[in-house]
């Protein structure tokens, strides 16, 4: 019995699914011994060849350029045996079937075969002898693997990494302080290192990541993928973050404004579920907005839409962090609130007592004191609700959303301190037909928002890449 370096696999229904790698690893197989078997194999092979003379010449060249390799026993093919009863009769089929049966069902993990194990089969694979020597049949796609998404939330103080499924549901996450070093290349290398560690924990190879999303707080150029001087990352100036991550991971990378990413996350998994027109307001240190209109994120020119924190709600009012006067953020942002509390909080108020002195007072102390019934804190929260209603009236008249979800401070303050007074004031300043059906609700994702938001950005990667290529 003569053995060959070529594995034969056209004698069974499973042959067309054999990859070049599994062929290499399958035990050596004999050629068919009888002329009858040869004729049968020719008939079954020809059915798959509609243009075989031309294809044969091309494939023979490919075949001739291949180098012989010693065959090994075993295979890493991880899928179930697909042999039909009574059809796999040859030694080749039996060997492959035995290998597959031994491997069994794919493991329940984030992806299919690791790229280091079964290497994304693209090539062929059936070889067969006779008058046509060493013909390799065309490739058949490998069974699809579940996409794995990687999300990076580049927060002001925390860096969050998350692995998720194709829908953007977080499966595993890790968080650390952002800790910028002043050297963006070193910072990005560290982020990539953390990402690889997270992938290793989940048993996923880096090349199995389908797309990466980065939720970015500061200014960036959506066309070039450059991060432009974010205030929380000193030393970052025109950093080509998208290109650097694409080089490292070899998959599409998408940068998204953090408020937009949060809006997508709340829309898909939180307070905006089911809405076609949804507005999300981040209301922590600063105030930002994300707009989902007509079931799709709306970015506007140069991704500038949704900057609701800088809508003027008081002409010639307080100075905002952006340099303008009277912006909503100057009245509703946590940083602005803290500045105000340090100036106007009475020393005897509960706010000052909770903070250990008004110099340390923040929005957290204000909300807590208001819940405890402190008169000064209640008055400050009424002022807060008033300015929030001003901002939302502009938002509703401009966009007529179905749902407006409010983030951190209003959510912490709750119904009595914020939501009820805001709805009441809006009711007096909106047309009924505009206000009808409008829901103003707390955000729902809480601590899970960072992971969801970064993965929501990853889901945008393919669409963004296609749009770049189309333009
Ligand atoms: Zn502003």
Quick one: which of 105, 65, 66, 62 has its CA closest to 82? 105
The pLDDT assigned to 16 comes to: 37
Per-residue pLDDT reduced to its tens digit, 384-407: 999 999 999 999 999 999 999 999
Q: How far apart are the CA of 323 and the centre of ligand 1, in A?
A: 6
Task: Tell me how far the alpha carbon of residue 381 lies from the centroid of ligand 1, in angstroms.
Answer: 21
**How much is the pLDDT for 360?**
96
Q: What does the block give as tokens for 37?
A: 């078997």
One domain, residues 200 and 289: no
pLDDT tens column, 41-83? 444 444 444 444 454 444 444 434 333 333 333 332 222 223 3
- Tell me, in angstroms, the distance from the centre of ligand 1 to residue 329's CA: 6
Task: List, in order, residues 6 or more apart from 357 with CB less than 8 Å away.
Answer: none
Same domain for 164 and 126: no
CA of 325 to the centre of ligand 1 (A): 7
Name the nearest CA neighbour of 166 among 461, 444, 446: 461
Round to whole Å and give the CA distance between 201 and 163: 10
CB-based contacts of 26, cutoff 8 Å, min separation 6: 7, 9, 18, 71, 73, 75, 92, 95, 96, 99
Q: Find all residues with CB under 8 Å of 350, minimum gap 6, and list them.
A: 369, 372, 374, 376, 377
Q: Which two tokens stand for residue 270?
A: 């939180």
The residue whose two tokens read 């500045």 is 339
* Residue 117 and residue 223 share a domain: no
Within its chain, how far is the Cα of 416 from the centroid? 36
Q: How far is the CA of 157 from the centre of ligand 1 (A)?
A: 21
Of the residues 103, 136, 169, which one is the last residue of a structural domain?
A: 136
In a domain, 2, yes or no: no
Q: Where do we find the tokens 């303008």?
A: 324
Cα–Cα distance measured from residue 296 to residue 286, given in angstroms and rounded to the nearest whole number: 24
Residue 407 included in any domain: yes
If we measure between CA atoms, which residue out of 465, 462, 456, 467 comes closest to residue 165?
456
278 and 395 both lie in a single domain: yes
Sign of CA dihedral 343, 344, 350, 351: negative
Distance 284 CA to ligand 1 centre (A): 14
pLDDT tens digits for range 174-198: 999 988 888 999 999 999 999 999 9
Q: Is residue 277 part of a domain?
A: yes
Q: How far is the CA of 229 from the centre of ligand 1 (A)?
A: 17
User: Based on the domain organization, do 281 and 405 belong to the same domain?
Assistant: yes
- Please state, in angstroms and rounded to a whole number, the distance separating the CA atoms of residues 411 and 417: 10
**Count of domains in the chain?**
3
**Which range marks the domain in which residue 215 is found?**
148-260+451-470
The CATH number of the domain holding residue 236 is 3.30.420.40
Distance 33 CA to ligand 1 centre (A): 83
DSSP β-bridge partners for residue 18: none
Please spell the DSSP secondary structure of 41-104, one letter per residue. Answer: HHHHHHTT-TTHHHHHHHHHHHHHHSPP----S-----SPP-PPTTT--SHHHHHHHHHHHHH-
- Whole-number Å distance, alpha carbon 309 to ligand 1 midpoint, is 6
Distance CA 372, CA 118 (A): 62
Task: Give the Å distance between the CA of 296 and the centre of ligand 1.
Answer: 26
Q: How far is the CA of 411 from the centre of ligand 1 (A)?
A: 22
* Ligand 1 center from residue 423 Cα (angstroms): 24
Q: Ligand 1 centre from 371 Cα, in Å? A: 29
Tell me the CA–centroid distance for residue 283 and ligand 1, in Å: 14
The span from the CA of 79 to the CA of 141, in Å, is 13
Same domain, 344 and 379: yes
Task: Answer for the pair 451, 261: CB distance below 8 angstroms, yes or no.
Answer: no
d(CA 241, CA 381): 40
Task: Please give the distance, rounded to the nearest whole angstrom, from the Cα atom of residue 327 to the centre of ligand 1.
Answer: 5
Ligand 1 mean position, distance from CA 330 (Å): 7
Instruction: Write down the residue that tokens 């090994």 correspond to.
Output: 72
Residue 96 lies in a domain: yes
The CA 187 to ligand 1 mean position distance, Å, reads 29
Q: Examine the domain organization and report whether 128 and 235 are in the same domain.
A: no
DSSP lists the bridge partners of residue 151 as 162, 213
Q: Which two tokens stand for residue 47?
A: 């059915």
Cα distances from 271 to residues 131, 281, 293, 446, in angstroms, run 67, 12, 15, 11
Q: Of all residues in the chain, what percent are helix, strand and coil, respectively (each to 5)?
A: 45, 15, 40
* Domain match, 462 and 439 both: no
CA of 314 to the centre of ligand 1 (A): 11
Ligand 1 centroid to Cα of residue 213, in Å, is: 27
Query: Considering Cα of 425, then 428, then 434, then 438, what sign does the dihedral take?
Result: positive
- The residues of the chain scoring below 70 in pLDDT are 1-145, 471
pLDDT of residue 119: 40
Residue 80, in any domain of the structure: yes
Ligand 1 midpoint to CA 352 (Å): 28
268 located within any domain: no
Q: Answer for the pair 270, 444: CB distance below 8 angstroms, yes or no.
A: yes
Same domain assignment for residues 287 and 369: yes
Ligand 1 center–CA 286 separation, angstroms: 9
Give 211-261 as a DSSP string. Answer: EEEEEE-S-EETTTTEE---TTSTT-SSB-HHHHHHHHH-S-EEEEEHHHH
From the CA of 398, how far away is ligand 1's center (Å)? 19
Cα(317) to centroid(ligand 1), Å: 11
Question: Is 430 among the domain residues?
Answer: yes
Looking at the domain assignment, is residue 355 inside a domain?
yes
Strands 439-442 and 403-406, by their bridges, are parallel
Which pLDDT does position 95 carry in this prediction?
A: 36
Same domain, 380 and 286: yes
3-state DSSP assignment of residue 27:
coil
Output the pLDDT for position 324.
Answer: 94
DSSP element (H, E) containing 363? helix 363-371
pLDDT, residue 115, reads: 52
Q: At what angle do helices 363-371 and 375-399 cross, to 10 degrees?
A: 110
Rounded distance from Cα 307 to ligand 1 centre (Å) = 9
| Length of the chain as a residue count | 471
- Integer Rg of the chain from CA: 30
Cα(415) to centroid of ligand 1, in Å? 27
pLDDT of residue 144: 53
- Cα 399 to averaged position of ligand 1 atoms, centre (Å): 20
Q: What is the pLDDT of residue 145?
A: 64
**Euclidean distance between CA atoms 220 and 229, whole angstroms:** 8
State whether 245 and 281 are in the same domain: no
Instruction: Judge if 124 and 152 occupy the same domain.
Output: no
């Amino acid at each position: 019995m003569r053995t060959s370096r070529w594995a034969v696999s056209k004698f069974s229904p499973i042959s067309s699914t054999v990859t070049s790698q599994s062929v290499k690893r399958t035990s050596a197989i004999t050629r068919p011994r009888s002329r009858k078997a040869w004729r049968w194999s020719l008939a079954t092979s020809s059915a798959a060849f509609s243009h075989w003379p031309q294809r044969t010449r091309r494939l023979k060249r490919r075949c001739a350029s291949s180098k012989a390799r010693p065959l090994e026993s075993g295979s890493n093919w991880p899928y179930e045996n697909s042999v039909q009863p009574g059809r796999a009769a040859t030694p080749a089929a039996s060997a492959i079937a035995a290998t597959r049966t031994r491997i069994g069902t794919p493991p329940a993990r984030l992806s299919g075969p690791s790229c280091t194990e079964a290497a994304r089969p693209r090539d062929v694979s059936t070889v067969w002898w006779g008058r046509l020597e060493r013909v390799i049949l065309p490739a058949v796609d490998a069974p699809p693997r579940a996409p794995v998404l990687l999300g990076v939330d580049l927060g002001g103080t925390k860096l969050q990494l998350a692995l998720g499924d194709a829908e953007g549901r977080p499966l595993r996450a890790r968080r650390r302080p952002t800790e910028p070093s002043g050297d963006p290349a070193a910072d990005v290398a560290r982020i990539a290192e953390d990402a690889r560690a997270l992938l290793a924990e989940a048993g996923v190879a880096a090349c199995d990541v389908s797309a990466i999303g980065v939720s970015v707080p500061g200014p960036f150029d959506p066309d070039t993928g450059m991060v432009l001087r974010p205030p929380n990352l000193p030393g970052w100036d025109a950093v080509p973050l998208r290109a650097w991550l694409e080089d490292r991971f070899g998959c599409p990378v998408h940068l998204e404004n953090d408020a937009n990413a949060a809006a997508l996350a709340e829309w898909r998994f939180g307070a905006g579920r089911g809405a076609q027109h949804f507005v999300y307001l981040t209301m922590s240190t600063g105030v930002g907005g994300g707009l989902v209109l007509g079931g799709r994120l709306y970015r506007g020119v140069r991704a500038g839409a949704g900057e609701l924190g800088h809508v003027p709600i008081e002409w010639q009012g307080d100075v905002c962090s952006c340099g303008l006067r009277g912006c909503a953020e100057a009245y509703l942002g946590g940083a602005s609130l803290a500045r105000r509390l340090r100036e106007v909080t009475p020393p005897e108020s509960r706010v000052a007592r909770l903070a250990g002195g008004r110099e340390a007072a923040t929005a957290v102390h204000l909300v807590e004191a208001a819940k405890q019934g402190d008169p000064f804190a209640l008055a400050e929260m009424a002022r807060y609700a008033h300015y929030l209603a001003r901002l939302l009236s502009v938002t509703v008249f401009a966009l007529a959303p179905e749902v407006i979800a409010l983030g951190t401070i209003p959510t912490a303050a709750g119904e009595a301190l914020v939501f009820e007074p805001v709805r009441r004031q809006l009711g007096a300043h909106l047309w009924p037909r505009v206000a009808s059906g409008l829901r103003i609700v707390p955000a729902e994702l809480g601590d899970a928002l960072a992971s969801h938001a970064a993965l929501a950005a990853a889901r945008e990667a393919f669409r963004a890449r296609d749009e770049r290529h189309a333009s």
